[in-house]
Structure 1
Amino acid sequence: MQRIPSLLRRLLPTLLLAAAAAAPGLARAAYPEQPIKMVVAYAAGGGTDIIARVMAPYIGKYLGPGASIVVINRPGAGGGIGFAEVANAPPDGYTIGFINTPNVLTIPIERKAPFTWQSFDLLGNVIDDPGNFSVHADSPVKNLAELVAYAKANPGAVSYGTTGIGSDDHLAAMMFERAAGVKLTHVPFKGAAEVHNAIASKQIYMASMNIGEALQYQKGGTPLRHLGQMSASRTNLAPGVPTFSEQGYRIVMASLRGIAAPKGLPPAVREQLVNAVQKAAADPEFQAKAAGYFAPLRYLPPAKYEAELREAEMGFRQMWKEMPWGENK
């Protein structure tokens, strides 16, 4: 009888080591064991914030029973603050966030940044929202030709709001200035909700914002007139709004809004998150709710999402050489 305790004593160190080695695997198998933080790099009430809050419960649903996702806003620096928070978080699956183009691509081009798009594990793209110019319905301007005429007659009087320097809204306006030979006055904000408030109160003359966001604010009661959408052809969201190309300006610009995590997720956790995002994006109930907010869905799996980011980055690097943007541009 004395041999059993002696044997256990000899085996105890081995058993403890085996248990310690198994513990990380057991933790991964139980993922998620705590709430997941979803970072939105823009202010509450904007297009990214709204789709994040609509989608978060569905991602949680497909992660499994008890999974919860908490949306937090980290606005500022054109999205740079929020993107950096996601990129620099522990790669354990408990911090994810939306990354927006072009900002996630243009910020590291224009200045030193603590991230590039390669700093993330891509989980899937969700939104593809074309750019657009909107004025208050009281404005006499009804199309791009009239906007150009007004801007030429009143140099610098056309102020326009965007979600920040280097955003798709800002770059599109710069391209328009160059193509039309006009000078506009840029007023950057921390998010689309602030741009909306400024155009609603006539603090700015024009809002450069995505068409889905503009339609949502219009539905909410803000009297807006949309001058043109920056898609290759008219979208189903706004079939009555002509494209820039139709009006003589070959400007195509949109914002991809996808979900990412810090680089280096455990493979099993990454697979769970990718699958949950894909299933959430395909959920009919989620799609119906997104349509109610004029959110133009376009799911891309990680590999295709990566290919689009890589190609877009090359284009923006070329644009930086030809037409650099920045505080004084």
Structure 2
Amino acid sequence: MTKTVALAATVGLASFAGTAAFAEYPEQPIEMIVAYSAGGGTDTAARTLAPFIEKYLGDGASISVINRPGAGGEIGFTELSQAEPDGYTIGFINTPNILTIPISRDTRYTMEDIQAVANVVYDPGAFNVLPDADFTTLEALVAHAKENPGEVTYGTSGVGGDDHLAALQFSRAAGIEMRHVPFSGAADVRAAALGGHIDMAVLNISEAIELVEQGELVSLGQMGEERWDGAPDVPTFKEQGFDVVMGSDRGFGAPAGIPQEALDALQQAIAQTVEDPEFLDAAAKQMLPLNYRDSAEFQAYLEHLGANLQEIWNETPWVE
């Protein structure tokens, strides 16, 4: 577990210690909305977390996972935003989707409708190429792309996703132009890269690290603030001189106006979960890069990231 997780969880627990109100919440079952289909990575992570959060909420706590897939997450995020803000409807939310959807199209929700509860996962983006590619470092990629503008092809799991936005942000920072090839999912991106059909696979680091460890791909860098423990040999983009931080967060949100008592209890339960050895073992098996943020940290982070994504949209709209 990273120092960030341990420190944040410790601080979170200290701030909540001795609050008698926990005994009063929850008094009825809690529904957790997942804006994606059952069986996917987001759903699996949510269902792994739920029993641990129940455990730390106390005797009788019950959390039901409700899948509301569709429109890239918009259906589930909208339902979350419009639910009664009583603490009994929460959502497992993803970035950048929850932020980019209102930026790129008219929606029935805005981020003002959603209260950040806590973040659990941050899965940094990563650039990955074959070992015999024309470039195997970010510096060499930039040089090659400048010599061959628009010829470097990169695959992602779709327009407007974190992988696509990561490539746009890097291209802007490096002053290069590359050609986007969208696919329907990470598995297709990996297959295209391994088959030599694209020059580079832009994936979350957890989606690529097994192939990197097997020597089938080379990862040029990961886009976290610091290296993920699961990929300690892959340098960050920042280490290589490119101030690019992009990835996918998975955390919890609630309708704006959730009672403080419920917000505090949920934060404490999530903080305890990310310290639980049994959960840590399950997270490691699922290749989940943990990064706990409490409500205030997560809220500030979402606001900062949203402003950054709006700037990217203003300069390079990602509709293709």
Q: Per the shorter chain, which TM-score range?
A: 0.7 to 0.9
Q: Paired residue for 1:304?
A: 297
Inter-partner Cα distance in structure 2 for 1:216 and 1:38: 30
Q: Paired residue for 2:278?
A: 285
Q: Paired residue for 1:326?
A: 318
- Conserved? CA contact 1:216–1:293, under 8 Å: no
Q: Paired residue for 1:16?
A: none
Asked which structure has the greater RCO (Cα within 8 Å, sep 6+), the reply is 2
Q: Paired residue for 2:52?
A: 58
Residue 273 (1) aligns with residue 266 (2): yes
- CA drift at 1:286: 0.9
Distance 1:237-1:272 versus aligned 2 partners, 3 A rule: same
Inter-partner Cα distance in structure 1 for 2:155 and 2:78: 24
Residue 30 (1) aligns with residue 27 (2): yes
Q: Paired residue for 2:206?
A: 212
- Conserved? CA contact 2:142–2:176, under 8 Å: yes
- Conserved? CA contact 2:33–2:76, under 8 Å: no
After superposition, the CA RMSD in angstroms is 3.4
Distance 1:29-1:210 versus aligned 2 partners, 3 A rule: closer
The alignment partner of 1:286 has SS state of helix
Inter-partner Cα distance in structure 2 for 1:136 and 1:53: 34
5+ long unaligned stretches in structure 1: 1-26
Residue 111 (1) aligns with residue 108 (2): no
Of all paired residues, the percent bearing the same amino acid is 44
Query: What whole-Å deviation, never above 9, does each CA across 1:154-199 have from its counterpart, x for those lacking one?
Result: 5544332334433332222112223444332223455545544554
Q: Which amino acid aligns with 1:315?
A: N
Query: What whole-Å deviation, never above 9, does each CA across 1:231-262 have from its counterpart, x for those lacking one?
Result: 34444332222232344433232333211123
The alignment partner of 2:91 has SS state of strand
Residue 102 (1) aligns with residue 96 (2): yes
Q: Paired residue for 2:67?
A: 72
The alignment partner of 1:282 has SS state of coil
Inter-partner Cα distance in structure 1 for 2:66 and 2:196: 30
Distance 1:199-1:293 versus aligned 2 partners, 3 A rule: farther
TM normalised by structure 1 equals 0.74
Q: Paired residue for 2:235?
A: 242
Distance 1:175-1:28 versus aligned 2 partners, 3 A rule: closer
The alignment partner of 1:112 has SS state of coil
Residue 176 (1) aligns with residue 173 (2): no
Inter-partner Cα distance in structure 2 for 1:199 and 1:73: 32
- Conserved? CA contact 1:86–1:95, under 8 Å: yes
Q: Mean alpha-carbon deviation: is it higher for 54-63 or for 312-321?
A: 312-321
Query: What whole-Å deviation, never above 9, does each CA across 1:88-144 have from its counterpart, x for those lacking one?
Result: 344455543222233322332232222222222322111122221112456454222
Inter-partner Cα distance in structure 2 for 1:29 and 1:44: 27
Q: Which amino acid aligns with 2:64?
A: I
The alignment partner of 2:287 has SS state of coil
Distance 1:125-1:208 versus aligned 2 partners, 3 A rule: same
Q: Mean alpha-carbon deviation: is it higher for 248-257 or for 195-204?
A: 195-204
Distance 1:163-1:265 versus aligned 2 partners, 3 A rule: farther
The alignment partner of 1:236 has SS state of coil
Pairwise mapping of residues 127-276 of structure 1 onto structure 2 (< 5 A)? 127-137=121-131, 139=133, 141-151=135-145, 155-189=149-183, 191-193=185-187, 195-196=189-190, 198-199=192-193, 204-215=198-209, 223-265=216-258, 269-276=262-269
Q: Which amino acid aligns with 1:324?
A: T
Q: Paired residue for 1:9?
A: none
- Conserved? CA contact 1:42–1:82, under 8 Å: no
Distance 1:65-1:191 versus aligned 2 partners, 3 A rule: farther
Q: Which amino acid aligns with 1:36?
A: E
- CA drift at 1:87: 2.2
Inter-partner Cα distance in structure 2 for 1:309 and 1:31: 29
Q: Paired residue for 1:3?
A: none
Distance 1:236-1:76 versus aligned 2 partners, 3 A rule: same
Inter-partner Cα distance in structure 2 for 1:270 and 1:235: 28
Q: Which amino acid aligns with 1:120?
A: I
- CA drift at 1:74: 1.9
Q: Paired residue for 2:119?
A: 125
The alignment partner of 2:207 has SS state of helix
Q: Which amino acid aligns with 2:290?
A: L
The alignment partner of 2:274 has SS state of helix
Distance 1:218-1:186 versus aligned 2 partners, 3 A rule: same
